[in-house]
Amino acid sequence: MKPQYAQVRIERRVIIRVPRSRSALPSGLNAFEANSPPVTYKEKKIGKCVPMNNILGVQRFDDRYLDLVTKSRQLIRVRLEKKCQGRSFYSGFYMEKSKDGKICEDRDVLHSRTGVKCEIDRFRLLVPE
């Protein structure tokens, strides 16, 4: 009997789920807080990548934008690629863990629970005015 050879490839994928966040808001960011005046924000450059383990949840979504809440209680605005709508991510999203542990613009893709896949176009830090 002639020996048979086979190749086995084992891949390991780690998927991270980022839920829609209601209680993770920094102080003053909850639109339903009683007697709180609306807070306005300006966008500041933050860099091309954000550590994945710092993302706590997604709070706001509309047009092409998602607002992420971080463990350090900061808000990071994510602009999605042109064809994507933020409302597709109403119940959160999934992302595949990268080797460097960061989520980066023009590289990583967010997966909504409804099946939509969108690449990140840009990150901005939201700072109260």
Please report the pLDDT score of residue 31 as a whole number: 47
Every domain of the chain and the residues it spans: 15-29+39-128
**Residue range 19-56, pLDDT digits in tens:** 887 654 554 455 445 566 788 899 999 999 999 999 99
CB atoms inside a 10 Å sphere around CB 25:
19
- Residue 114 CB burial class (10 angstroms; 0-12, 13-18, ≥19): exposed
pLDDT > 80? residue 122: yes
The CA distance from 72 to 15, in Å, is 22
pLDDT > 90? residue 12: no
**Residue range 69-110, pLDDT digits in tens:** 999 989 999 999 999 999 988 888 999 889 999 999 999 999
Does the pTM surpass 0.85? The reply is no
